[in-house]
Structures are given as C-alpha cells and as structure tokens.
Structure 1
Amino acid sequence: MAPPVSSKTNANSQGAVESKVLQYERFIDEVLKKDLQVMEQRDAVYEQVSHYLQLKNTLQALQETDSQSLKADVDLGCNFYVQAKVEDSSKIFVLVGFGFFVEMDHTEALRFIDKKTNQLTAFTDQLTKDCAKIKANIRLVLEGLRELQGLAELPESSRREVF
C-alpha cells in the first residue's frame, strides 16, 4: 500500500497555487491599478488643451470683429457671474505654466497656443501609450491567474475591457 504522500503533495501544491494567486492579485491591486492613475493625468492634460483651444477660438473671434472693447460674463466662483467690460482687449494675459501669466498681443498668443497645444498633444500621446502598456500587463497577469486556477478561457464575445 502506497503512503498518502500524493494527497499531501496535492494539498501542498494547492496551497502554493493559492499563495501565488494571492500574490498576483496583490500585485494587480497595489502596483498596476495605481499605475493607471496615468489615465487621470492624461484627462487633466486634455482639459488644458481644451482651455487653450477655447482661448484660441475667442482670440480669432476678437480679431475678426476688430473691436477693441469687449463685454463678458466673468465667473467669480460657485456659478456667480458678473458683467465685465474691457476697454482695450488688444493685449491679454496667457497662462504659460507653473502659475505664470505673460502679457501678449493676439498674434503672439495664437502662436504660443499652437506651440503649447502641440506639446500637450504629444504628451497625451505618450500617456496613452503608457496606459496601453499598463492595461496589457494587467491582462497578462489576469491570464496567468486564470491558468493558475485552471479556469476555462472566455470566448472573445464575452470578454470585456479590463478598465
């Protein structure tokens, strides 16, 4: 009669698999999901690009009207607006970064906006590539977990995006 070594070995290997599964799950939660904060950073950069493009459209509209005076509603915060009148709109202050504003005329501002949006767009492209790599790593670890646990592979139609 053979000793019950095989059942003990089977229990040990089952415990090792469970330990490995917990390790992989912890890695996903602690490392890879935190890496996905890159997506939030990318969204913030998209918002900056949106603000610059909105300013560009406003400047182009001002150039078309050839009007020096301007009336606008200014948000004071918490959706409280006040009417403002600008006597001379030939120069504006543009946020150039790190909280610094520079006074520019319309053509300087338009050139700056084009350069800044190109720079920010290149940065978002890099962030998008980083997001794709992180999602691929998560997918790889999830597939490894599936194999460790002996789960059947899902058909393509029932798969969904990881995040």
Structure 2
Amino acid sequence: MYCYLASDMDAVDLKHKVLKYEQFLNETLRGDLSNLNNQREKVFEETADYLHLQTTLEKLKEAGFTDGSKPVKTQVDLGCQFFAQAVISDASMVFVHVGYGFFVEFTVDEALPFIEEKISRLNIKAEKLGKAMAQVRAQIRMVLEGLRELQGL
C-alpha cells in the first residue's frame, strides 16, 4: 500500500497536469496549426494557377488569338520542366476547372470574369485560414503560459 503526503500528491498531480497540457499542445494544437497551414498553402497554389491562367488569357486576347482565326503555337509543361511543342487551332474556347473535378468550357470573355470571382473567393478563404491560424497560435501561447505557471518558471 502506498502512502502519499499532501505535498507528494500535489507533485504527482502537477506532473500529470503538465504532461496532459504538453500532450494537448503537441498533438492537438500544433497538428491543427500544421493542417491549417497546409490548407492555406493549397489555396495560395490554386490562386497562383488562376492568376497565371488569367494573365495567359489576357495576353491571348490582346494578341488577337481569341477569335479562332489563327492557330497559337505554344509549349506545354509535361512535368519536371520537360516541355513539348503544341499548336492550338482554335483558342476562342477554353476549359476552366471550376472545382470538384469539373471543367466548364468558356469563351475567353466569359472565362475572365469567372476567374476574377474565383480569385476573390480564394483570397477570402486564405484570409479566413490565416485568422484561424492566428487563433490557434494564440491558444498555443496560452497553453505555454499555463505550463510556465504550473512549473513555476
């Protein structure tokens, strides 16, 4: 049979609380922060893709290739910076990824406003993820401060 004094019980209870807070900090909060950061990075990548598409379509429109009268010669990235020559016979219509694996065929004039709206929505989503990350960082600071107080540092 074990006999603990009140101060021994407090020390054991304190160690248990510290371990629980450290576990919550490392497994939950830091994991949440990492997941939010990964989500935000994906949103930034998607935004960059749409911005690139918008720039390309605007340049095609300025050069007069969007009426379908003349072919467009270009290079396509096949991956790992390996490019192949390509000829687009009719650049008046483009397929744009609208989400969930669906593509919609647009004229260039229809695609540009859609892309602007999509970029706007992605920026809002990135902003919300940034705010959520700030909240998790604040929770991490609070837990660290609580740990310091428990350990008497």
| Aligned twin of 1:156 | none
* Offset of residue 79 of structure 1: 3.3
1:58 to 56, 61, 86: 56
* Offset of residue 8 of structure 1: 2.7
* Offset of residue 53 of structure 1: 0.5
Alignment: residue pair count? 145
DSSP 3-state at the match of 1:44: helix
* Offset of residue 137 of structure 1: 0.5
* Offset of residue 69 of structure 1: 2.0
Deviations 1:117-155 (A, max 9, x none): 11111111111111111110011000000110011xxxx
Q: Which one-letter code corresponds to 1:10 in the other structure?
A: S
Once residues 118 and 81 of structure 1 are traced to their aligned partners in structure 2, the CA distance between those partners, rounded to angstroms, is 31
Segments of structure 2 that go 5 or more residues without pairing to the other structure are none
Q: Which one-letter code corresponds to 1:98 in the other structure?
A: Y
Deviations 1:8-34 (A, max 9, x none): 322221111111000001111221122
1:47 to 39, 45, 55: 45
Deviations 1:87-134 (A, max 9, x none): 211111111111111111111110100111111111111111111111
DSSP 3-state at the match of 2:97: strand
| Aligned twin of 1:101 | 103
DSSP 3-state at the match of 1:88: coil
| Aligned twin of 2:28 | 31
| Aligned twin of 1:113 | 115
Q: 1:14-29 alignment to 2 at 5 Å?
A: 14-29=11-26
1:139 to 133, 138, 141: 141
The TM-score, its normalising length taken from structure 1, stands at 0.84
Q: 1:78-89 alignment to 2 at 5 Å?
A: 78-89=80-91
| Aligned twin of 2:130 | 128
Once residues 77 and 133 of structure 1 are traced to their aligned partners in structure 2, the CA distance between those partners, rounded to angstroms, is 38
| Aligned twin of 1:9 | 6
DSSP 3-state at the match of 2:94: strand
C-alpha RMSD of matched pairs (Å): 1.4
Once residues 42 and 78 of structure 1 are traced to their aligned partners in structure 2, the CA distance between those partners, rounded to angstroms, is 24
Q: Which one-letter code corresponds to 1:96 in the other structure?
A: V
DSSP 3-state at the match of 1:89: coil
Once residues 62 and 121 of structure 2 are traced to their aligned partners in structure 1, the CA distance between those partners, rounded to angstroms, is 27
Segments of structure 1 that go 5 or more residues without pairing to the other structure are 1-6, 152-163
